[in-house]
Amino acid sequence: MTDDVKYLKRLAYELRWRRIPEAEVEGALRTVATHATQKSQRAEQLFGPADRFAESFPRGRSLHRGYLLMTSAVLVAAAVVGAASLAELILNTDRFGLWSFIALVAGAVVWSLVAALIGSRLDRRLPAGWAAG
Q: What is the tens place of the pLDDT at every residue in 10-56?
A: 999 999 989 899 899 999 999 999 999 999 999 999 999 999 999 99
Sequential DSSP letters for the chain = --HHHHHHHHHHHHHHHTT--HHHHHHHHHHHHHHHHHHTS-HHHHH--HHHHHTTSPP-----HHHHHHHHHHHHHHHHHHHHHHHHHHHT--SSHHHHHHHHHHHHHHHHHHHHHHHHHHHTSPPTT----
Amino acid at 12: A
Q: What is the tens place of the pLDDT at every residue in 77-118?
A: 888 888 887 877 777 766 667 777 788 888 888 888 888 888
Alpha carbons 56 and 69: distance in angstroms, whole number: 26
Number of neighbouring beta carbons within 10 Å of residue 33: 21
